[in-house]
Amino acid sequence: MSATDPRPPASQPAAELFEFLCRMGDNTLVLGHRLSEWCGTAPALEEDIATANTALDLIGQTQMWLGLAAETEGAGRSADDLAMTRDAWDFRNLLLVEQPNGDFGRTLMRSFLFDAWHRLMLERLTLSGDPRVAAIAAKAVKEVAYHADRSAELVVALGDGTEESHGRMQAALDRLWPYAGEMLADDAIDRAMAEAGIAPLPSALADPWEESVRTTLTRATLTVPEGAFAHRGGKDGARHSEHLGHMLTTMQWLQRAYPGARW
């Protein structure tokens, strides 16, 4: 099947756009893979199915984002090439999404923090000046709204649950909170995208993100950690955590061992 119909605007910053599209696609790819690690082992059948379905949505979105990235790059690479043959330092995902699953509570907390951002980002990208970006966002946001509702619901259920579940959710929040700041920090790529009218500045999402996340966390009787320290280095590829490389050895094994294998 061929790519999507809408055409690119006449002029745009191609190198920066490629970076931005890799950021979007690598977030969904890495989180999609992480969530798929629960397939068959989640604590309840319904949650197993829900987690696998969410992973599937994210992988589908990856095909669109990385497909457009490959098209933008124009170097003859495909979405699969980008996903399966780049090494860790070429990935542009947030540090948050590459963090290991931990227990189911930590997995949910990671999704909750990301989903709230993802929904806001996609809502704004539906208004992108690049119609191809807007089309992908319009498709993805319907799925992600569902993800965000579910992860928020479960964070409240488990946070405001038993002593055991509350403790685990608080520990998950304490551990993951320092990874949230990277989602809301601007860099040169973000500024180029904003100037070209392609994407919002991440900092413009900070207020609505904080508001929605804090409202849910209060309902979940969880305490937001103090301090504004934020780990950086995922979305610019400068300093991924060691976890990404380990994940890629599993995810990319087949294409590394049997280059070009298809089915």
Partner 1 sequence: MVARPAPAPVPGALADRPVRRDGPPPATEGDVWALLSQIPDPEIPVISITDLGIVREVALDGRAVRVAITPTYSGCPATFVIAIAVEAALLDAGLTPTVTSRIDPPWTTDWLTEAAREKLRRYGIAPPATRGPEACPHCGATTVTQVSRHGSTPCKAQWRCDACAEPFDYFKCH
Least distance to partner 1 from the beta carbon of 62, Å?
8
Size of the site for partner 1 (CB under 8 A): 37
Subset of 233-262 contacting partner 1 (CB under 8 A)? 261-262
Angle at 108 between CA 105 and CA 109, to 5 degrees: 85
Given the rule CB under 8 A, which of 94-102, 143-151, 182-190, 219-227 is the region that contacts partner 1? 143-151
Q: Which residue has the tokens 């319907």?
A: 142
DSSP string, 104-173: HHHHHHHHHHHHHHHHHHHHHHTT-SSHHHHHHHHHHHHHHHHHHHHHHHHHHHHHTS-HHHHHHHHHHH
Subset of 169-208 contacting partner 1 (CB under 8 A)? none
Nearest to 6 by CA among 96, 129, 161: 129
Residue from 63, 101, 212, 252 touching partner 1 (CB under 8 A): that is 63
Subset of 93-132 contacting partner 1 (CB under 8 A)? 131
Subset of 16-35 contacting partner 1 (CB under 8 A)? 32
Residue from 30, 58, 113, 193 touching partner 1 (CB under 8 A): that is 58
Distance CA 158, CA 154 (A): 6
Least distance to partner 1 from the beta carbon of 94, Å?
20
Nearer to partner 1, 4 or 12 (CB): 4
Least distance to partner 1 from the beta carbon of 64, Å?
6
H and E: helices and strands count for the chain: 11, 0
Distance CA 233, CA 250 (A): 22
Contacts 24+ apart (CB under 8 A), 45-51: 47/104, 50/150, 51/107
Given the rule CB under 8 A, which of 7-15, 140-148, 183-191, 210-218 is the region that contacts partner 1? 140-148
Least distance to partner 1 from the beta carbon of 5, Å?
6
Nearer to partner 1, 53 or 252 (CB): 53
Residue from 84, 125, 135, 193 touching partner 1 (CB under 8 A): that is 135
Burial classification of residue 226, based on how many CB atoms lie within 10 Å of its CB (0-12 exposed, 13-18 middle, 19 or more buried): exposed
Least distance to partner 1 from the beta carbon of 129, Å?
15
Q: What is the DSSP letter of 14?
A: H
Q: Would you tell me which residues interact with partner 1 (CB under 8 A)?
A: 1-6, 32, 46-47, 49-50, 53-61, 63-64, 131, 134-136, 138-140, 142-143, 146, 149-150, 261-263
